[in-house]
Structure 1
Amino acid sequence: MPRNVEIKASVKDFEKFLSLAKELSGSEGTLLEQEDTFFNVPEGRLKLRFLKGRTSQLIFYQRPDSDGPKVSDFHCSDVSDQVKETLRLALGIKGSVAKKRWLFMVGQTRIHADVVDGLGSFMELEVMLRPEQTLEEGDKIAKDLMDKLQIDQSQLLSGAYMDMLLKKGLSA
């Protein structure tokens, strides 16, 4: 399974964050409109990601819910949008997350600048680890980018957007 080191944080000044991400990546980024539907599973997380104008993906991932850099093991499959009804019938829907995401690439790291319906502005870093790389190397890359993007430890978040929405009673 592919692995990455992830960081998620709240963003106080979204325009400033976008500007820093554009500068670091040397690009304007790619705007993605996404809706993630999460299904009830006994462990990990299973979501169907609908990307406006693109092929949908079924994504299973496991990662600890902790602040700061954490390893995530994941598997993605391209699927038809019609699989949603099959999964709903088999597993039940936990909830949905709608967001606008700007994607920037810096080396082997995906920088996401997210505006999440019902929650606000966030960022995620996903350092895609090569097979020979250690978690410590990924952690170092993530922390370096955090500094360059002016993300403070106090902004770090532990859970998924779905968890935050459920906590606020906004998705079911």
Structure 2
Amino acid sequence: METCDVLADMSRNVEIKAKVRNLGDIVSKAKKLSNSEGTWIEQDDVFFTVPQGRLKLRTFQDKTAELIFYDRPDCDGPKLSKYEKCTLPDGSQIASVLSHALGVKGRVKKNRQLFMVGQTRVHIDNVEDLGNFMELEVVLSEDQTLDEGQVIAETLMADLGVEKEDLISGAYMDLLQK
């Protein structure tokens, strides 16, 4: 599979995103691979208008938040994503400031079941107004190559029964705006 490339100096992961055909099947496989029931996370992501990449404020049920900038290509299959995160005790004030300063591009609300499989975050997402998706994020160490991350992603993809034709490009925000 081809991988697309982007920035430097940031945290990196190799990720894939795919439409889920059989929710029960993929959750069952993720539980087995992670040897856990997973963790449920409710997320409300507000995307801001920026000249490059994506900037979102992710707010959790307890009102804590993460401001996340990331840049990755919009292509199917494993792709390199570079990102920076800032954790905030309360996201409400920064949301207002960023909304006024940059403008809001859109909002994505989802319920996410997170499974850890080695160094990979396996997300099973129910996205409001879109449906069910699966996302893999292979978090790369400084000394790991993109190729090593791709192999891990492709192996997990196969283990979870994700087909190439189920892969999607872009972000949930892009799908909502179509």
**TM-score, normalised on structure 2?**
0.93
Q: Supply the distance in 2 between the matched residues of 1:110 and 1:53 (Cα, whole angstroms).
A: 22
Moved more, 51-60 or 147-156: 51-60
Q: Deviations over 1:111-151 (max 9, x none)?
A: 00000000000000000000000000000000000000000
TM-score, normalised via structure 1 length: 0.96
1:99 match: secondary structure? strand
Question: In the alignment, which residue of structure 2 is the partner of 1:78?
Answer: 87
Whichever residue aligns with residue 102 of structure 1, its letter is Q
Number of equivalences: 167
> C-alpha offsets along residues 41-80 of structure 1, whole Å, 9 cap, x if unaligned?
0000000000112620000000000000000000000123
Matched residue type, 1:100: N
Unaligned runs of 5+ in 2: 1-9
- Following superposition, the deviation at residue 110 of structure 1 comes to 0.2
Q: Which residue of 1 aligns with 2:73?
A: 64
CA distance in structure 2 between the partners assigned to 1:55 and 1:16 by the alignment: 32
Consecutive unaligned residues of structure 1, counting only runs of 5 or more, are 168-172
Moved over 3 A (4+): none
What are the equivalent positions in structure 2 for 1:48-127 lying under 5 Å apart? Answer: 48-53=57-62, 55-79=64-88, 80-81=90-91, 82-127=93-138
Aligned-residue CA RMSD in angstroms?
A: 0.7
Cα distance, 1:16 vs structure 2: 1.0
Alignment of 1:1-172 (within 5 A): 1-53=10-62, 55-79=64-88, 80-81=90-91, 82-167=93-178
Identical pairs, percent: 56
